[in-house]
Structure 1
Amino acid sequence: MTLRIGIAGIAIESSTFSPHRAGLADFDVRRGDRLLERYEFLGKDWAQGIEWVPLVHARSLPGGAVLPEVYDDLSAEIITRLEAAGQLDGFFFDIHGAMSVVGRQDAEADLATRIRSVLGPDVLVSASMDLHGNVSRELGTAVDLITCYRMAPHEDAMESRERALRNLVERVRSGKGKPGKAWVQVPVLLPGEKTSTRLEPAKSIYRRVAEIADEPGVLDAAVWVGYAWADEPRCRAAVVVTGDDHELITTRAAELARAYWDARDNFEFVAPTGTLAECVEAGLASSARPFLISDSGDNPTAGGAGDTSWTLGQLLTVEELAAGKATAIHASIADPDAVAACVAAGVGNEVHLTAGGKVDSGPAGPVALSGTVFSLSEDPVGGTVAVVKAGGLHSILTSRRKPYHHLADFTLLGLNPATTDLVIVKIGYLEPELYNLAADWLLALTPGGVDQDLLRLGHHGVLRPLYPFDPAMPAPTLTPELLP
């Protein structure tokens, strides 16, 4: 008998501290064959003999909270298509886990619960998530299998989705039914830049996750860091171990939760940190080239608005850069009006404009930028992209929000980061290509919607006590719960 498995989801990481609002234009919405194209692993042997039923999947670059009407329309389409899909044997719920919707809480649990109400209690549902997602009791109850990435940076993102679907298929084919789910939240909320799996203690914790997942009686194991830049009760670390040996999965979930809690004081930033001024001074004084600096407070891949201008304003005052004695690249500021001014001026001509600070004006308003239009280009993500050269500083301006993670992101603009003194990127931990490029790097603690200094953001909706907001809090019980 051919199995029928549905696929749907809405995936975005949403900072509630960012004034950006995610609209429909921010999402890549796919249906039918275009949806299935996201999953190259569906061509593998284990995925044969299955009728995949693609409903609708919407994925966005991280940003601010989703407009409620956008969430309502997308979720309603998922439910409508699911109701019309006929009998399914399984369902793959492909989400991020940190979607916030304006005026709502726990959006993924809401959608999962609605999907469950259509599917009924017996159809197996498998969820794949980012490790920076959140797992509330409601979400954990609404799905049957749930997993997340084991690497940060997320080099195993597609591998994790494949694991979630493969486990679902094998479970349905075996006829074993629903596995047990040992779930426990850990009252710790840390930024991703402190929990990279490149470093201890996360490296050992996630190595242990993989070991536990391979034990007889265990189907899968996962540890979520949680999402630090949303202000909801669900935002905290979580552990789920699934399998048929209920005693074992409960024991292993408690072990992982205790390991995470015990390590809470040992998590450190993935690179040495400092103020922007300290990082720039150190970079200019260093002989390491290129020297990379993470402009972490407005990281668009963590939910930043992408137009915070504070760092650009500071860089324009650095004497060595202004005089052209040193070279630097700043990536980037989303500002369609500034880009339009560059297009009107043309390559090689002077331009006088204001950049950034129009969406997220908290740290700084629009910054005056005068220089020469170095290049203009078109980008499938960033739209029209302009580079303005002011002294030794090349400022990248985009008409749409865009992360800069790859060497080609720079070289296609006529820039060579390998021969530049300082490369300042709106990012947290460096993605692989930038990590390999950097002769040295620092993480600048800059302001913005994803400020690494959580204590100055003003959380009030998270459940307390919670580390690091309450460093002297008593030790939690950390007793896993077997979810229905």
Structure 2
Amino acid sequence: MSGRPNIAIAGLACETSTFSPARTLAPAFHPRRGNEVIDKYAFIHPGTPLGEAAIWHGALIGHALPGGIVARESFEELANEIIARLTDITTSTKLDGLWFDIHGAMCVEDMDDVEAELLRRVRHVIGPDVIVSASMDLHGNVSKQLAHQTDLITCYRMAPHEDAMETKERACQNLVDVLTAPNESPVRPLKAWVPIPILLPGEQTSTRMEPAKSLYGLVPDVVSTGGVLDAAIWVGYAWADEPRNHAVVVVTGWETESVTKGAQKLSEYFWEKREEFEFVAPIGSLTECIDAALRSTSRPYFISDSGDNPTAGGAGDVTWSLNRVLNCPEFKDDSGPKVIYASIPGSAAIETILEAGIGAVVTVTVGAEVDNIHEGPVTMTGKVHSIKHGDRDAVVEAVLQVGSVFVIITKLRKPYHHESDFTELNLHPRKADIVMVKIGYLEPELFNMAADWMLALTPGGVDQDLPRLGHRRIHRPMWPYDKHFSELPDLTPHLIPLSNEPL
């Protein structure tokens, strides 16, 4: 190839639970278009190695907060704009590559395997010869169809995802390397794809602990093998009920023996260790977790309200846990153990609080506007502790002190992952007795703050007790839904056809 390759960027990302009654609409994706796409990623800015190695063309990307199923009309709106923008780009530019910037666990009403469908539509515009490199979350799903339509595919190697940007950059570097290799035309790598009948939540597959730590530790060894370009392991997404949902290994490269041996090594290790995957923290009912926190001398003591985790796809407004916290006799008086609860949406409550102001005593009703399956709204009376405007997700946040519980109320749902999320609300989690957050495994800053913690098995759209959710469409047998297999799974790698060949 003479000159710098032209690479377009497009994709939609939303981790969506089919067990949540919530619906995700187009504005939730916060779409970026044209140069806004380039601006988001510093590693392709002008002056950087990748920025100078290729000419980058932003089409449209959208990254939504995890949630409920994406409304069909919203998907079609965004997908049609992606196609229109790519059509405009290809009218004036001969594209050499596409970075497909996705998550991999998006579900859309009345559709299955939507990332593969989106890429099929994209291929119709860009053609079969353009090299496509996809970057994904390790909690995404890689169907055979998606693997077929991509040329290069990789995912995070850490959970929590501290290597998110590193992974996206790697996907782009792999793409540039293939496009600028010293050949007349790019040589498409081989792809060895292995489906594994395991479907576990992220809270049992964190790379902070074994056996996931050692499993993902094998990836660099496989990549270092001659003839291998990349290796990736997908845990899959446990809270959606689609046939594609299960663990997958993909190894890409140029030598058949190297990629197949690498894929088999990773998949066999995953299967062999299936019974060793455990929760990343001690688990218990909410009552057991609160009792343990009250007995403990470790402060702050964190409790994950895991069933309604908004960063796994929960609606974020389940009131089941908050109601029980507020009714704990230990927290009824403002002199009791200091508890921070993050968080619960309540748009009408926010309006009442804004009108009353800091220091006022108000009675408000919050939650269960979307997910009222488990419990209805909660009405509480308390003192307005703080108010904050302008958050990207919440829009407006307020803190209401009810007894010794400081409840964070939001106009729209928001995850709480950073210490600044609290301190900007005049809350100091390091000085609290108990911090309860709607989350699964603790994100790095929370993990570093916690003197001790437990994961509460609470109800919601991302319930950690997977069998009680009632999956009906996943392939069976599937570990851990099925503990006895009549025969061992076939982990022989499938060599996926090249993307311009029929599947």
Q: Same fold (TM over 0.5)?
A: yes
- What is the Cα deviation at residue 400 of structure 1? 1.0
Please give the alpha-carbon distance, in whole angstroms, between the structure 1 residues aligned to 2:254 and 2:455. Answer: 44
Aligned runs of 1:399-438 on 2, under 5 Å?
399-438=411-450
- Structure 1 stretch 25-34 or stretch 139-148: which is displaced more? 25-34
Q: Secondary structure at 2:445's aligned position in 1?
A: helix
1:470 Cα offset (Å): 1.0
Question: Which amino acid is 1:106 matched to?
Answer: D
Cα deviation code 1:97-128 (max 9, x no counterpart): 00000111110010111112222222110000
What is residue 28 of structure 2 aligned with on the other side? 26
Aligned positions, number? 484
- Work out which of the residue numbers 198, 202, 207 in structure 2 matches 1:197: 207
Tell me how far 1:79 sits from its aligned partner. 1.2
Give 1:14's aligned residue.
16
Alpha-carbon distance in 1 for matches of 2:24, 2:202: 21
* CA distance in 2 between partners of 1:2 and 1:160 (Å): 22
| Residue aligned with 1:154, SS | coil
CA distance in 2, matches of 1:17, 1:241: 32
Does the 8 A contact of 1:290 with 1:422 survive in 2? yes
Give the whole-Å Cα distance in 2 for the aligned partners of 1:211 and 1:406.
33
TM-score with structure 2 setting the length: 0.95
> Which amino acid is 2:468 matched to?
R
**1:74-473 pair list within 5 angstroms:** 74-86=78-90, 87-174=94-181, 175=183, 176-324=186-334, 325-378=336-389, 379-473=391-485
Contact 2:101 2:134 survives alignment (8 Å): yes
- Percent identical: 52
Paired position in structure 1 for 2:501:
none
Provide the rounded CA distance (Å) in 2 between the counterparts of 1:251 and 1:220: 13
- The answer to whether the Cα contact below 8 Å between 2:142 and 2:244 also exists between their aligned partners in 1 is yes
State the AA in 2 paired with 1:314.
R
2:488 pairs with 1:475:
yes
Q: Residues of 2 paired with 1:467 and 1:68: CA distance?
A: 31
| Alpha carbons 1:47, 1:166 under 8 Å: kept | no
Please give the alpha-carbon distance, in whole angstroms, between the structure 2 residues aligned to 1:93 and 1:131: 15
Asked if 1 retains the 8 angstrom alpha-carbon contact of 2:190 and 2:252, the reply is yes
- Whole-Å separation in 2 of the counterparts to 1:380 and 1:219: 37
The residue aligned with 2:56 is 52
Q: TM-score, normalised by structure 1?
A: 0.99
In the TM superposition, residue 70 of structure 1 has moved relative to its aligned partner by: 0.7
Shift of 1:317: 1.1
State the alpha-carbon separation in 2 of the partners of residues 360 and 373 from structure 1: 25
Choose 97-106 or 366-375, whichever is displaced more: 366-375
**C-alpha contact (below 8 Å) 2:231/2:251 kept by paired residues:** yes
Runs of 4+ in 1 over 4 A off after TM superposition: none
Taking the aligned partners of 2:298 and 2:316, their CA distance within structure 1 comes to 28
Once the 2 structures are TM-superposed, how far is the Cα of residue 401 of structure 1 from its aligned partner? 1.3
1:369 deviates by 1.2
How far is 1:389 from its partner?
A: 0.3
Please give the secondary structure, in 2, of the residue aligned with 1:91. strand
User: In structure 1, how many angstroms separate the alpha carbons of the residues matched to 2:262 and 2:384?
Assistant: 58
The CA RMSD over aligned residues, in Å, is 1.0
Structure 2: unaligned runs, 5 residues or longer: 498-503
Alpha-carbon distance, 1:341 to partner: 2.0
Letter aligned with residue 23 of structure 1: L
- Report deviation, 1:81: 1.4
Which string of whole-angstrom CA distances, capped at 9 and with x for unpartnered residues, describes residues 226-259 of structure 1? 0000000000000000000111111111111111
1:64 maps to which of 61, 65, 68: 68
Distance (whole Å) between structure 2 residues aligned to residue 220 and residue 241 of structure 1: 6
Q: Distance in 1 between matches of 2:449 and 2:382?
A: 27
* 3-state DSSP of counterpart to 1:386: strand
Q: In structure 2, how many angstroms separate the alpha carbons of the residues matched to 1:445 and 1:102? A: 28
Give distance in 1, aligned partners of 2:216 and 2:132.
24
Alignment partners' CA distance in 1, 2:223 and 2:4: 28
Deviations 1:127-150 (A, max 9, x none): 000000000000000100000000
The separation in 2 between residues aligned to 1:90 and 1:380, in whole angstroms, is 32
